[in-house]
Amino acid sequence: MGSIEEAIADLKSQEHLNITATAKKHGCNRSTLLKRYNGIYSSRQVGYNSQRLLTLAQLKALIKYVNQLTKYGLPPIILMVRNFVVEIAGREPGPY
């Protein structure tokens, strides 16, 4: 767990919030901590996950399917993979 996550956990355990002292204690930026604590900002990982076209499970299923096709001697071309993604995700991916 990173310093921001530790600081947020520390804030949640405090009866009277002290953002400045908690930020100094955990070595993070006070304004970033306050915004993350209040839910205005989220972690980068959460941000990245919200922008992904496929979930991790869907991505693993796609890779498994492509590997099976390759094993049978039918390696898919990029357009085929793109069509598979549309089927799985239900929407078009961006340009490649």
Residue-wise DSSP of 28-40: --HHHHHHHHTTS
CB 11 within 8 A of CB 22: yes
Can you tell me the distance from the alpha carbon of 55 to that of 59, in angstroms, rounded to the nearest whole number? Answer: 6
Q: How far is CA 83 from CA 52, 62, 92, in A?
A: 17, 11, 9
Residue 69 reports pLDDT greater than 60: yes
Kindly report whether the global pTM for this prediction surpasses the value 0.85.
Answer: no
pLDDT of residue 35: 87
SS3 53: coil
Mean of pLDDT values over 53-67: 91
Question: Tokens for 10?
Answer: 């520390």
Which H or E run contains 83? Answer: helix 78-89
- What angle in degrees, to the nearest 10, is found between the helix axes of 30-37 and 3-13? 60
